[in-house]
Amino acid sequence: MQRASPAGTAAAAAAVAYLALGAPPALAAATPDDITVGGAALHLEFEPRAFGDGGDAVRAWIRRSANIVAGYYGRFPTARLTVQVLAEAGDGVHGGKSFANPDGFIRVQVGREVTEAQLLADWVLVHEMTHLALPDTGEAHAWLSEGLATYVEGVARVQAGNRSEADVWAEEIRQMPHGLPQPDDRGLDHTHTWGRTYWGGAMFCLLADVEIRKRSHNRFGLQDALRAVARESGGLAADWPIERVLRTGDGAVGTTTLEDLYAQMKDRPVTPDLMRLWQELGIEPEGSSVRLSDHAPLVEVRRAIMQAP
């Protein structure tokens, strides 16, 4: 889900949401709920009685999502986070948005009939929490924040045992071609389509991850670069130029991969041979899924990407 730039306070943002929903403020009766995950204090704002089980599954989902993100980054990206759950009609998880004011604030819309299976399979909250780990680099670089959230969500969930590796690669094979440049493309910084923003950004991340691991002989990956950026910036509350983000990430892994890729892709259409890359990683499409091979030149890189450090 696209995160809005932090405009105003969390309270003001919440008030706007109520107006938009045209509903009475559900939080008036909300029970405060606080948990600690990965070194972070999480404050839950929701109405437990809106859910059939008294909110237990929603609580577990928030804790699980925070643990997945804390696992990927080595600790949760912000010291404090408020998660506001707005219960809506229906089932499933409907969407979310992240803010930094300067503490993290995530608003998610969840159906009252949401099932435990839907919460187990949810990507929205991990995606939103991933946004908290990257400084704000401005609207022109939304492809970096959305691409990272898209890419990291899959990898982080595999590392935590919440999603299968084959499922993530199958989704990338299905979706990442949407991130390739179309005929009128002017590079990632100047082409703000959905495909280029989410999947063009995710493609940048995959290319960077593979390249960092190749250049460092698998000592480091994109994950190490992102951990350094999160640690040194403090995350979404910081305003950093994109060059500083990439330089900081590169510095942590001893390469210039992120800066090089950005120089190539920022204002020019670049069309990498994705199918060949997946073949080298030992990933073969098979129907709507994939078969993972142990015999391909970059098998060790693929394993390293999906293995928790």
Q: Return the number of the residue (1 or 114) whose C-beta is nearest Zn ion.
A: 1
Burial of 3 (0-12, 13-18, 19+ CB in 10 A): buried
CA–CA gap between residue 281 and residue 209 (Å, rounded) = 12
Residue numbers 140-159 binding Zn ion by CB under 5 A? 146, 149
Q: Is 125 in the site for Zn ion (CB under 5 A)?
A: no
**Rounded to 10 degrees, what is the CA torsion of 69, 289, 146, 12?**
-70
Q: Which residue in this structure is represented by tokens 């990257």?
A: 134
Total number of residues that touch Zn ion (CB under 5 A): 4
DSSP 81: E
CA–CA gap between residue 59 and residue 63 (Å, rounded) = 6
Site string for Zn ion, 1-20 (x = CB under 5 A): x-x-----------------
CA–CA gap between residue 273 and residue 250 (Å, rounded) = 24
Residue 168 CB, shortest distance to Zn ion, in Å, is 17
Q: Return the number of the residue (237 or 277) whose C-beta is nearest Zn ion.
A: 237
Phi, psi of 284 (to 5 degrees): -115, 125
CA–CA gap between residue 225 and residue 260 (Å, rounded) = 14
Q: Return the number of the residue (238 or 304) whose C-beta is nearest Zn ion.
A: 238
Residue 139 CB, shortest distance to Zn ion, in Å, is 13
Residue 130 CB, shortest distance to Zn ion, in Å, is 8
Q: Return the number of the residue (127 or 213) whose C-beta is nearest Zn ion.
A: 127
Residue numbers 73-102 binding Zn ion by CB under 5 A? none
Both tokens of 64, joined, read 């699980």
Q: Return the number of the residue (42 or 124) whose C-beta is nearest Zn ion.
A: 124
Residue 1 CB, shortest distance to Zn ion, in Å, is 5
Residue 131 CB, shortest distance to Zn ion, in Å, is 6
Which residue's CB atom is positioned nearest to Zn ion? 149
Q: Are 120 and 56 in contact (CB under 8 A)?
A: no
Q: Return the number of the residue (97 or 163) whose C-beta is nearest Zn ion.
A: 97
Q: Are 176 and 203 in contact (CB under 8 A)?
A: yes
Residue 26 CB, shortest distance to Zn ion, in Å, is 24
Q: Which residue in this structure is represented by tokens 């389509």?
A: 193
Q: Which residues bind Zn ion (CB under 5 A)?
A: 1, 3, 146, 149
